[in-house]
Structure 1
Amino acid sequence: MITIDDKKIKLQVWDTAGQESYRSITRSYYRGAAGALLVYDITRRETFNHLYSWLEDARQQSSAHMVIMLIGNKSDLENRRVVQKEEGEAFAREHGMVFLETSAKTATNVEEAFLSTAKAIYRKVQKGQFDLANEGNGIKIGPQHPSMTQSASTVRHGPQGSGDRLGCC
């Protein structure tokens, strides 16, 4: 549970592992998601190179309004970096995504990645870009009382082998 603008937001996270053997299952997760985190390993060029394919899957299977964040993981391994931060930033900018580098090992920016994605989804909800009557968008409005609860659905997925889905309850 997180709070945005005094509203309780429940996030459900699904890790799809980013493995080719699970790719068909991963595609179905996108259909019920309001957001996705595409993750690559800054120490492995091939994970960055596969982003085009994963992004294409996400966009084909999801709502046109799905929030997609690009994550360069393992920022704690700067001495082994093969994908420069500027490359990740450029890819994200070119494809209309938010970009952030993280370290799962040290927890650097991990919480921020999820919070930023949830806030971007919430802003789109406020603008009316998601049909709240359609739970297939990955958003469900909870009880209508002063502490209104909303759920946002996000898939974190990438060639690095990470992927989570923030869903509704």
Structure 2
Amino acid sequence: MAAYRPEDDYDYLFKVVLIGDSGVGKSNLLSRFTRNEFSLESKSTIGVEFATRSLTVDGKVIKAQIWDTAGQESIDRVMGRAAAADRYRAITSAYYRGAVGALLVYDVTRRPTFENVGRWLKELRDHTDPNIVVMLIGNKSDLRHLIAISTDDGKAFAEAESLYFMETSALEATNVESAFAEVLTQIYRIVSRKAVEAGDDSASAVPSKGERINIKDDVSALKKVGCCSN
């Protein structure tokens, strides 16, 4: 039986951000992964929310700090376009700061949310290291009769941009665990390899809590369409 570890006892802390248009299901992906909850009546996120969950990878406890923020359009509705633009810019840099992973989410039943994926990816890369571990997520796969973006289209975009890819359903809990776990595992492998290459022992390989982990130049060899929708 595994020994009990307090909530604040972990080996690595990784910040992961959720990005994509409003209404694609980012908040429900977050709540499904961190609390195993889903709400059909969830409202658009206003401001920034985050939750945490720990996983064990290769005997190490990985604590994920997952951030979810309102899209530009949600802030527009609440504050008015001019004020919203200033507010959005003000929170953007803080939102992305220190992130080493991202889930870029679109709604498989709404083509405009897929068409905007390129803009979200550009914003992500403008504010983080371009080699951040990114998984493209086609959410709401349970709505099979309404699907507007094929799995092949999602895979093709992910392959062209060197992203991982998976289709999920927060409602049915399909692939949600797998998507987050894959991103966290790939980040962990990069950090572990850096420690080995630097000749660190197991103790010094563990970063200080809150320390930003630089994954520059180490993700490119791993990045590919790493997962399918099945």
TM-score, scaled relative to structure 1: 0.73
Name the aligned partner's letter for residue 64 of structure 2.
L
What is the percent sequence identity of the aligned residues?
Answer: 48
- Residue 169 (structure 2) pairs with residue 103 (structure 1): yes
Match of 1:118 in 2: 184
Contact 2:109–2:147 at 8 Å: present in 1 too? yes
Distance 1:72 1:79, change over 3 A: same
| Match 1:55 to one of 114, 121, 141 | 121
2:124 maps to a residue whose letter is A
CA contact (8 A) 2:98 2:212 kept: no
Tell whether 2:64 aligns with 1:11. Answer: yes
1:55-94 paired onto structure 2 within 5 Å? 55-94=121-160
Partner of 1:42: 108
Unaligned stretches of 5+ in structure 1?
A: 130-139, 144-149, 153-169
Q: Normalising by the residue count of structure 2, what TM-score does the alignment of the two structures yield? A: 0.55
Count matched residues. Answer: 136
Where do residues 155-166 of structure 1 align in structure 2 (5 Å cutoff)? none
- Tell me, yes or no, if the aligned pair for 1:10 and 1:151 is still in contact at 8 Å: no
For 1:90, the aligned partner's letter is A
Greater relative contact order, per chain length (Cα 8 Å cut-off, separation 6+): 1
CA distance in 2, matches of 1:27, 1:72: 25
Distance 1:87 1:126, change over 3 A: same
Structure 2 distance, partners of 1:127, 1:121, is: 10
Pair member with larger Rg: 2
Q: CA deviation at 1:23?
A: 4.2
1:18 Cα deviation (Å)? 2.9
1:123 shift after superposition: 1.4
Cα RMSD (Å)? 2.3
Structure that is richer in strand per residue: 1
**Paired amino acid for 2:65:** Q
